[in-house]
Structure 1
Amino acid sequence: MIKLTIDNQQVEVEKGATVLDAARKAGIEIPTLCHDPRLETSLGGACRMCLVEVQGARTLSPSCTMPATDGMVVSTKSERVVQGRKVVLDLLWSRHPHDCLTCSAAGNCKLQDYSFEYGVKGSRFENPEEEEFPLDYSNKFYYFDRNKCILCGKCTRVCNELQQTHAIGMSERGFETHVTPPFDDPLAQSKCVSCGNCVSVCPTGALVAKKTDRFRYWDVRKVRTTCSFCGVGCQMELLIKGDKIVEVQPYDGAANNNMLCVKGKFGYKFVNHPDRLKTPLIKRDGKFEQATWDEAYDLIVSKLKEAIDDHGPDSVAGFSSARCTNEENYLFQKFLRAVVGTNNVDHCARLCHASTVAGLATTLGSGAMTNSNREALKSDVILVSGSNTTEAHPVIGAHIQQAKEKGAKLIVAEPREIELAKEADIFLQIKPGTNVAFFNGMMHVIIKEGLQDKEYIAARTENYEELEKIMESYPPEKVAEICGIDAEDLIAAAKMYAEGERAAIYYSMGVTQHSTGTQGVMSVSNLALLCGNIGKEGAGVNPLRGQNNVQGACDMGALPGDYPGYQKVINPEAQAKFEKAWGRSLNNKAGLTITEVVNGVEDGSIQFLYVMGENPAVSDPDTTHVEAALKKANFIVAQDIFMSETAEFADVVLPAGSFAEKDGTFTNTERRIQRVRQALKPIGESKPDWVILTELMNKMGYEASYSHPSEIMDEMASVTPQYGGISYDRIDEEGLQWPCPTKEHPGTPVLHTETMSRGLGLFKPADYIESAETPDKDYPYIMTTGRILYHYHTRTMTKRVKGIDVMFPESYIEINPITASRLDLADGDKVKVASRRGDIVTTAKVTDKVVEDVVFMPFHFYENGANRLTGTALDPTAKIPELKVSAVRLEKA
Structure 2
Amino acid sequence: MTGTIKFKIDGEWVEASPGMTILEAALANGIYIPHLCFSDVTEPFGGCRLCLVESEGRLVTACENPAEEGMNIVSESGRINRIRRNTVSLIITNHSRDCLTCRKSGDCKLQEVASYLDVSEDDLERLRMDLKDVPPDDSNPFFIRDHDKCVLCGICVRVCEYVGAEAIDFAYRGHDTKIAAFLDRDIMDSPCVSCGECVEACPVGALSPRTEKPSSEVKTVCPYCGAGCEIHLGVRGGRVVSARGVRESPVNRGNLCVKGRFGLKFVNSPERLKKPLMKVDGRFVEVEWDEAIKFIAERLSEYGGSEFAAVASAKCTNEENYLLQKFTRAVMGSGNIDHCARLCHAPSVAGLKMSLGSGAMTNSIDELRDAACILAVGTNATETHPITGYRVLEAVRGGSRLLVIDPRITRLSEAADIHLRNRPGTDLYLIMAMSRFIIEEELQDTDFIGSRTDGFDEFREELFKLDLDEVQEITGVPLEDIRRAARIYASNSPASIIYSMGVTQHVNGTGNVLALSNLALLTGNIGMPSAGINPLRGQNNVQGSCDMGALPDLLPGYQGLDDPEALEKFSRAWDSEIPDYGKILPEIFEDAAGGRIKAMYIMGENPLLSEPDIGKVREAFEKLELLIVQDIFLTETSELADVVLPAASFAEKDGTFTNTERRVQLIRKAIDPPGDAKPDWWIISRIAEAMGSGEFSYETSEEIFDEIRGLVPSYAGLSYDRLESGGIQWPCRSQEDEGTPYLHADEFPKPGGRASFIVPGYQLPEGPSDEYPMILLTGRNLYQYHTRSMTARVRGLERFLGTEELLMNPEDAESLGVLDGDEVRVTSVRGSITVGVRVTERVMKGTVFMTFHFAESPANSLTSPVRDPVSGMPGLKATPVNIKPCK
Q: Shorter chain as normaliser: what TM range?
A: over 0.9
CA distance in structure 2 between the aligned counterparts of 1:84 and 1:697, rounded to whole angstroms = 73
Give the counterpart letter for 2:182 in structure 1: P
Q: Structure 1: how far apart are the matches of 2:300 and 2:164?
A: 53
The answer on whether the counterparts of 2:305 and 2:335 sit within 8 Å (CA) in structure 1 is no
Paired residue for 1:291?
287
Task: Tell me the equivalent position of 2:266.
Answer: 270
2:384: which partner in 1? 392
Cα displacement string for residues 176-225 of structure 1 (whole angstroms, at most 9, x for unaligned residues): 221111221211121111111111111111111224xxx4x4x6211111
The amino acid across from 2:24 in the alignment is: D
Cα separation, partners in 2 of 1:31 and 1:579, compared to 1, 3 Å:
farther
Code of the aligned partner of 1:804: L
Q: Deviations for 1:25-66, whole angstroms, at most 9, x for unmatched residues? A: 33445454322222223xx23234444455x5354x443223
Alignment of 1:195-344 (within 5 A): 195-211=195-211, 215=212, 217=213, 220-252=215-247, 253-307=249-303, 312-344=304-336
Alignment counterpart, residue 636 of structure 2, candidates 641, 645, 655: 645
Instruction: Give matches, 1:14-33, under 5 Å.
Output: 14-33=17-36
Measure the CA separation in 2 of the matches of 1:331 and 1:374.
32
Cα deviations by residue, 1:742-789 (Å, 9 ceiling, x for unpaired):
111111111111112221110011242221x22222112211211111
In the alignment, is residue 3 of structure 1 matched against residue 3 of structure 2? Answer: no
Shift of 1:113: 4.2
Residue matched to 1:179? 179
1:822/1:174 Cα in 2 relative to 1: closer, same or farther (>3 Å)? Answer: closer
Aligned pair in 2 of structure 1 residues 468, 816: CA closer, same or farther (>3 Å)? same
What is the rounded CA distance, in whole Å, between the counterparts of 2:562 and 2:473 in structure 1? 44
* Counterparts in 2 of 1:8 and 1:756: CA distance versus 1, 3 Å: farther
State which drifts further: 395-404 or 2-11: 2-11
Structure 1 residues 244 and 30: CA distance shift in structure 2, 3 A:
farther
1:539 to 531, 534, 540: 531
Q: What residue identity is the alignment partner of 1:381?
A: C
CA distance in 2 between partners of 1:110 and 1:288 (Å): 55
Unmatched segments (≥5 aa) in structure 2: none
Match of residue 96 from structure 2: 97
Shift of residue 813, structure 1, vs aligned partner? 1.6
The residue identity in structure 2 corresponding to 1:527 is L
Q: Does 1:34 align with 2:37?
A: yes
The answer to whether the 8 A contact 2:21-2:67 is kept is: yes
SS at match of 1:729: helix
3-state DSSP of counterpart to 1:730 = helix
Q: Which residue number in structure 2 is paired with residue 410 of structure 1?
A: 402
- Aligned-partner Cα distance in 2 for 1:847–1:177: 34
Map 1:658-737 → 2, pairs under 5 A: 658-703=649-694, 704-737=696-729
1:250 partner amino acid: G
Measured after TM superposition, the shift of residue 581 of structure 1 is 2.0
SS in 1 for 2:723: coil
Question: What TM-score, normalized to structure 2?
Answer: 0.96
Following the alignment from structure 2 to structure 1, what is the Cα–Cα distance between the partners of residues 397 and 367?
Answer: 15
Q: Would the aligned equivalents of 2:498 and 2:534 in 1 still touch at CA under 8 Å?
A: yes
Deviates more, 1:873-882 or 1:412-421: 412-421
Is residue 762 of structure 2 the alignment partner of residue 768 of structure 1?
yes
Equivalent residue, structure 2, for 1:880: 873
For 1:554 and 1:230, the matched residues in 2 are separated by 15
Cα 1:254–1:624 change in 2 (3 A) is same
| Separation of aligned partners in 2, 1:537 and 1:552 | 23
Q: 1:636 to 1:444 in 2, by over 3 A?
A: same
Asked if structure 2 preserves the Cα contact closer than 8 Å seen for 1:243 and 1:680, the reply is: yes
Residue from 808, 816, 831 that aligns with 2:801: 808
Residues 109, 505 of structure 1: alpha-carbon distance in 2 compared, 3 angstrom cutoff: same
5+ unaligned residues in a row in structure 1: which ranges? Answer: none
Judged with a 3 Å threshold, the aligned counterparts in structure 2 of structure 1 residues 144 and 75 are, in CA distance, closer, same or farther, namely: same
Change in Cα spacing, 1:118 to 1:280, as seen in structure 2 (3 Å) is farther
Classify 1:873/1:33 alpha carbon distance in 2 versus 1 (closer, same or farther; 3 Å).
same
The worse-fitting range, judged by mean Cα deviation, of 822-831 and 103-112 is 103-112
How far apart, in 2, do the equivalents of 1:258 and 1:883 lie? 34
What displacement does 1:78 show? 6.4
The secondary structure found in structure 1 opposite 2:781 is coil
Aligned mates of 2:58, 2:351 — CA distance in 1? 65
Identify if the C-alpha distance between structure 1 residues 128 and 723 changes in structure 2 by more than 3 Å, giving closer, same or farther. same
Counterpart position of 1:633: 624
CA-to-aligned-CA distance 1:337-396 (integer Å, 9 cap, x gap): 222222211110000000100000110011011111121111111111111111111111
Give the stretch that moved more between structures: 738-747 or 64-73: 64-73
Assess if the C-alpha contact under 8 Å between 2:603 and 2:629 holds in 1.
yes
Aligned mates of 2:31, 2:736 — CA distance in 1: 33
Amino acid at match of 2:253: N
Determine the structure 2 residue equivalent to 1:497. Answer: 489
In the aligned structure 1, how far is the partner of 2:625 from the partner of 2:301? 13
TM-score normalised by length of structure 1: 0.95
Q: Aligned partners of 1:101, 1:706: CA distance in 2, in Å?
A: 51
How far residue 699 of structure 1 moved from its aligned partner, in angstroms, is 2.0
Shift of 1:490: 1.1
Deviations for 1:418-472, whole angstroms, at most 9, x for unmatched residues?
2211221111111111111111111111111211111111111100011111111
Residue 68 (str. 1) matches residue 61 (str. 2): no
Identity, in percent, stands at 45
Measure how far apart 1:493 and its partner are.
1.1
**Residues 1:830 and 1:742: Cα distance change in structure 2 (over 3 Å):** same
Matched, 1:422 2:437: no
SS of equivalent residue, structure 2 residue 511: helix
* C-alpha distance in structure 2 between counterparts of 1:31 and 1:240, whole Å: 32
State the distance in 1 between where 2:33 and 2:734 align: 41
Q: Indicate the residue corresponding to 2:138 in structure 1.
A: 137
- 1:508 aligned to 2:509? no
Q: Tell me how far apart the structure 1 counterparts of residues 128 and 289 of structure 2 sit (CA, whole Å).
A: 66
Residue in structure 2 matched with residue 432 of structure 1 by the alignment: 424
Match of 1:817 in 2: 810
1:460-518 CA-partner distances (Å, limit 9, x unpaired): 11000111111112243221111111121111111111111211111111111111111
Question: Secondary structure of 1:648's match?
Answer: helix
* CA–CA distance in structure 1, aligned partners of residues 687 and 74 of structure 2: 65
Q: 1:517-566: per-residue Cα shift (whole Å, max 9, x none)?
A: 11110110001111111112111111100011111111111111111110
How many pairs align? 877
Contact 1:369 1:543 in 2 (8 A): yes
Please state how far the C-alpha of 1:295 moved relative to its aligned partner: 1.0
Aligned residue identity for 1:757: P
Indicate which of 588, 594, 614 corresponds to 1:603. 594
Contact persistence 1:200–1:250 (CA under 8 A): no
Quickly say closer, same or farther: Cα 1:76–1:591, change in 2 above 3 A: farther
Partner of 1:855: 848
2:143 aligned partner, one-letter code: Y
What one-letter code is carried by the residue in structure 2 that aligns with 1:170?
F
Contact kept, 8 Å, 1:319 with 1:610, in 2: the verdict is yes
Q: Give the letter for the 1:720 counterpart.
A: V
Larger mean CA deviation between 118-127 and 163-172 belongs to 118-127
Tell me, in whole angstroms, the C-alpha distance in 2 between the residues paired with 1:338 and 1:256. Answer: 38
Q: Provide the secondary structure at the position in 2 that maps to 1:855.
A: strand
Instruction: Tell me how far apart the structure 1 counterparts of residues 69 and 57 of structure 2 sit (CA, whole Å).
Output: 15
The change in CA–CA distance for 1:136 and 1:306 in structure 2 (over 3 A counts) is same
AA in 2 matched with 1:797: M
Q: Is the 8 A contact 1:223 1:679 kept in 2?
A: yes
